[in-house]
Structure 1
């Protein structure tokens, strides 16, 4: 029994030794590991951050009626160009019964006041005529005549004031009943006209819709929205982690999803002083005005867009891939390994500049002719791929 156990142990030892020899032999047959190299190149490095948003008009004007009523006719549609003063819609006034009755009673009251003033004027006019004759004959003094003359003038003025009040009451009645009146020009009318020139972006009302005039208690119903499409801006949001890196006046590169292969220049001119919470993150509103838009460039309002905010730029500088840079474990200073012979490398400390996350500017340490070790990428020799 002991002899059998001894034999088994010896066999196991021999097999283990043979396996180790075979492994070492195969290991020696493998091709040696070689490191690939890369070189520096001359390029521009741009550091930027992204913001998402949309393109909207810089100034969008909402056209509202100056009187309440029902839309009788609409003369425009979205997409048309209009000039300031062009007719947009016509409003039919539906008067309020109580307001109309009050205005009618106001006319009657002012009519009565006018009649009373006219009667008083006629009396004062008769007295004035008699006293004037007596004054000319020297019967009454000049002081007495001046007093009578003043009463006459006041009575005449009261008639004029009563006539003006009556006319105003009649105009108010006409405005309440029909929406317009004579003698006021365009101050009160049922015709809605454009107040600015531009493209009609939206006509939210239709014939038969009821509209309300703008007043202190209501912003009024919008008849149409008009904007100059040659003056567009980018409106977007940026995360709180990036807002500290930007400032007003920085250049923007705008890309619009619906317009391929074209970038638009803009300038950042607004950063919100207060952030808002969206999906658990703090976002800040930003705005940038698009530049150099001409009549041939048509950007529809509301298109989604992305803005690249250029934080810094270095043009035509020597740069290497950031993956080539290593950092000393003790000093944390950057260095690269430069090939000085066949698969022989030496350490070179480098001074780095601007980085865009892929390439980094090299200020000192290497030249464009140096072959830099790709330290985190291993590759066999060319013959390895074809060996069986």
Structure 2
């Protein structure tokens, strides 16, 4: 009886072990991956680089006052179109007390000098009419009288300019701030009541407005030193703006900086390109932009998808695996290849394989089936 019970226990253990082994094999078994192949093909390959930057007007003109004072009134606003000569703002003059007093004193001196000269002129005219003095002496006295009148007129004009900003007969008063070029007002950084300083040899002056022609725009960006040597003036650019989707603008490279600037450990070179602006689109100053430049292009060359390349761990040289015999046999051999330019998707094959070779898609993975997921979850729960 003990032997029968012993054999029964051994049988149960063997069956349990077989069941556990079968379950483990089933839950961890994966179907063998069948590798697909691709044939090399002919295509055009472009090696591009992208320069980040912005689009700005070619010329921006800052309008500055010719006299110091306080903004009395602003007639236009940002975004308005203006023509050269249009009135933008008006300044109320706050005269300097010392300069005003000196100008007033000059007027008084000129009046005194004129009165004295007039007295002399009247006396000499009577003598000249009687024939007592010569015409030369009278002409000299008349010249002094005319000069005294002119000096008084100039002194009064200077006093008027210092007091109110312009002479009464002036066609364009200094207090009137006018546009010097035609375009769009980009910015008016002042408001009514602000004090402004005139532009002179010692001070740039306060900017009243900034004007630019938005129909003439340029791209300003930077490229890495490793790519600047491949650029040439006149190269075409393709500009994409973050604010305008699904639209590309053509441009032409017009400037490459002769000196680089180090930024975050890398040397960057400034570039500029003339942007072709279409009438249907309004490009605002300062839009962020990317410029795509074609550094190298090859037409109708042998290429493969770049994902098919593999690299030797020791030499880091590229190679591919090519099918030997029918693809169904899943036999592959390694072939070293020489590659050329790449556009990030396809890479040029210079040598190593031909268009008839079947290149292994080595990095394809099999999707996990629903049944396998359930079995793995069950095994983890157990």
TM-score scaled by length of structure 1:
0.75
Q: 2:280 maps to which residue?
A: 296
Does the 8 A contact of 1:36 with 1:377 survive in 2? no
Does the 8 A contact of 1:272 with 1:284 survive in 2? yes
Task: Write the distance in 1 (CA, Å) between the matches of 2:91 and 2:74.
Answer: 9
Q: Deviations over 1:8-61 (max 9, x none)?
A: xxxxxxxxxxxxxx9xxx9xx997775432122343322122222222111111
Asked if 1:238 is matched to 2:223, the reply is yes
Give 1:216 shift: 0.9
Give 1:337 shift: 5.1
Task: Write the distance in 1 (CA, Å) between the matches of 2:262 and 2:271.
Answer: 15
Give 1:124 shift: 5.2
SS at match of 2:245: coil
Q: 2:3 maps to which residue?
A: none
Describe how 1:170-319 pairs up with structure 2 within 5 A: 170-186=156-172, 188-291=173-276, 293-319=277-303
Does the 8 A contact of 2:45 with 2:298 survive in 1? yes
Task: Write the distance in 1 (CA, Å) between the matches of 2:114 and 2:290.
Answer: 70
Task: Write the distance in 1 (CA, Å) between the matches of 2:139 and 2:311.
Answer: 103
Q: 1:157 maps to which residue?
A: 143
SS at match of 1:260: strand
Task: Write the distance in 1 (CA, Å) between the matches of 2:371 and 2:194.
Answer: 80
Task: Write the distance in 2 (CA, Å) between the matches of 1:295 and 1:124.
Answer: 75
Task: Write the distance in 1 (CA, Å) between the matches of 2:51 and 2:317.
Answer: 33
User: Which residue of 146, 150, 155 corresponds with 1:169?
Assistant: 155
Q: 1:69 maps to which residue?
A: 69
- From the superposition, tell whether residues 273 and 153 of structure 1 become closer, same or farther in structure 2 (CA, over 3 Å): farther
SS at match of 2:218: strand
Does the 8 A contact of 1:271 with 1:285 survive in 2? yes
Asked if 1:320 is matched to 2:307, the reply is no
Unmatched segments (≥5 aa) in structure 1: 1-21, 134-144
Q: Deviations over 1:209-255 (max 9, x none)?
A: 11111111111111111111111122223333433333332222222
Task: Write the distance in 2 (CA, Å) between the matches of 1:195 and 1:39.
Answer: 65
Task: Write the distance in 2 (CA, Å) between the matches of 1:344 and 1:107.
Answer: 109
SS at match of 1:192: strand
Give 1:279 shift: 3.5
Task: Write the distance in 2 (CA, Å) between the matches of 1:297 and 1:222.
Answer: 29
Give 1:111 shift: 2.7
SS at match of 1:262: strand
Q: 1:93 maps to which residue?
A: 93
Q: 1:16 maps to which residue?
A: none
Give 1:208 shift: 0.8
- The number of residue pairs the alignment matches comes to 347
RMSD: 3.7
Describe how 1:102-141 pairs up with structure 2 within 5 A: 102-122=102-122, 125=125, 129=129
- From the superposition, tell whether residues 314 and 124 of structure 1 become closer, same or farther in structure 2 (CA, over 3 Å): farther
- From the superposition, tell whether residues 128 and 338 of structure 1 become closer, same or farther in structure 2 (CA, over 3 Å): farther
Give 1:203 shift: 1.3
SS at match of 1:283: strand
SS at match of 1:159: helix
- From the superposition, tell whether residues 110 and 282 of structure 1 become closer, same or farther in structure 2 (CA, over 3 Å): farther
Give 1:306 shift: 1.8
Unmatched segments (≥5 aa) in structure 2: 1-20, 376-382
Moved more, 238-247 or 228-237: 238-247
Task: Write the distance in 2 (CA, Å) between the matches of 1:266 and 1:174.
Answer: 53
Q: Deviations over 1:168-208 (max 9, x none)?
A: 2211111111111133321x332211122211111111111
Does the 8 A contact of 1:35 with 1:379 survive in 2? no
- From the superposition, tell whether residues 222 and 340 of structure 1 become closer, same or farther in structure 2 (CA, over 3 Å): same
Q: 1:139 maps to which residue?
A: none
Task: Write the distance in 2 (CA, Å) between the matches of 1:118 and 1:48.
Answer: 86
